[in-house]
Structure 1
Amino acid sequence: MNQQWRTAVSATLHCLTGCAIGEVLGMVIGTALGWSATPTVILAIVLAFLFGYSLTLGPVLRAGVAFKAALSVALAADTLSITVMEIIDNAIIVAVPGAMEAGLASVLFWASLAFALVVAFVVTVPVNKWLIGRGRGHAVVHKYHH
């Protein structure tokens, strides 16, 4: 595996971490509150973006970058990656019959969510490789890594 693919996998794992935290939290909250699929998915998406951006924003801020510039870096680095990941994982979990209604104690709920995140990761790696190859996406964050 060449360096661009390794970097794309690393960037996608980074994105998956933030997305998974937000996605799982949103799905758990919505499901626990008995919400229907639409508000649960919206909450999951909002939290996925929030956590995804936060995981990039924190290290960039610690590198001494001003908040507004750091936010621009996080938006440039993660927006397309998070968007693709969220489209894929939410489309899958909504498409699995009964997954959204299964409840937190259900294997169907957790297996569907895990499967959706794995597929989203696989689909998003080439997206990140394409971005990195053009000096975009996670490539804009590299100058802030120590």
Structure 2
Amino acid sequence: MGHGGHASAAPWSTAVRATLHCLTGCAIGEILGMVVGTALLWGNVPTMTLAIALAFVFGYSLTLFAVIRAGLSLKAAVKVALAADTVSIAIMELVDNAIVALAPGAMEAQLSDGLFWYALLGGFAVAFVITTPVNKWMIGRGKGHAVVHAHH
């Protein structure tokens, strides 16, 4: 704890690394889900549902593999991944999908359209900017990715 009973501040570099880690898993799952849903000509809701579900799966998986390699049991690793990544992934998915949904024509764009990729990647960029300070705040309070760092 810092002065006055407040938690110590996490360095920005730690928050950036944690957010990039989360963004990597989210991006893999989100892109895979959007590509599959779009290629199969699914509607917007099933495509976004698949993309969000896969973003969580891949986001959690990156943490799971890392902490299992560090020696945690699967049960303990699942608890760490849920504690470390849930808020970060949820914010990223909310921001990214809101941008894609609100960008005119992005939901109707096909994989070969630049708009599809610009909206998706632009959403990731905005989500990164919004999520990084949240991760910094959480890590400074021993939450989020601070839970993972205790096992490295």
**Pairwise TM-score range, normalised by the shorter structure:** over 0.9
Q: TM-score normalized by structure 1?
A: 0.96
Give the ranges of 4+ consecutive aligned residues of structure 1 lying more than 3 Å apart after TM superposition: none
Residue in 1 that maps onto 2:143: 136
Determine the C-alpha separation between the residues in 2 that align with 1:122 and 1:99: 21
Determine the C-alpha separation between the residues in 1 that align with 2:35 and 2:147: 33
Deviations 1:76-106 (A, max 9, x none): 0000000000000000001111111110000
> How many residues are paired up?
144
Determine the C-alpha separation between the residues in 2 that align with 1:15 and 1:142: 14
Structure 1 residue 108 and structure 2 residue 115: aligned?
Answer: yes
| Gap runs ≥5 in structure 1 | none
Q: Which amino acid aligns with 1:142?
A: H
**Identical aligned pairs, as a percentage?**
66
Q: TM-score normalized by structure 2?
A: 0.92
Determine the C-alpha separation between the residues in 2 that align with 1:58 and 1:4: 25
Q: Which amino acid aligns with 1:45?
A: I
Structure 1 residue 97 and structure 2 residue 97: aligned?
Answer: no
Larger radius of gyration: 2
Deviations 1:1-35 (A, max 9, x none): x8521100000000000000000000000100111
Determine the C-alpha separation between the residues in 2 that align with 1:101 and 1:30: 12
Q: Does structure 1 conserve the Cα–Cα contact (< 8 Å) formed by 2:10 and 2:139?
A: no
Aligned residue for 2:150, secondary structure, equals helix
Residue in 1 that maps onto 2:3: none
Q: Which amino acid aligns with 2:139?
A: I
Residue in 1 that maps onto 2:21: 14
Q: Alpha carbon RMSD of aligned pairs, Å?
A: 1.0
Residue in 1 that maps onto 2:4: none
Following superposition of structure 1 onto structure 2, how do residues 19-98 of structure 1 map, counting pairs within 5 Å? 19-98=26-105
Shift of 1:137: 0.2
Determine the C-alpha separation between the residues in 1 that align with 2:50 and 2:58: 12
Q: Does structure 2 conserve the Cα–Cα contact (< 8 Å) formed by 1:27 and 1:40?
A: yes
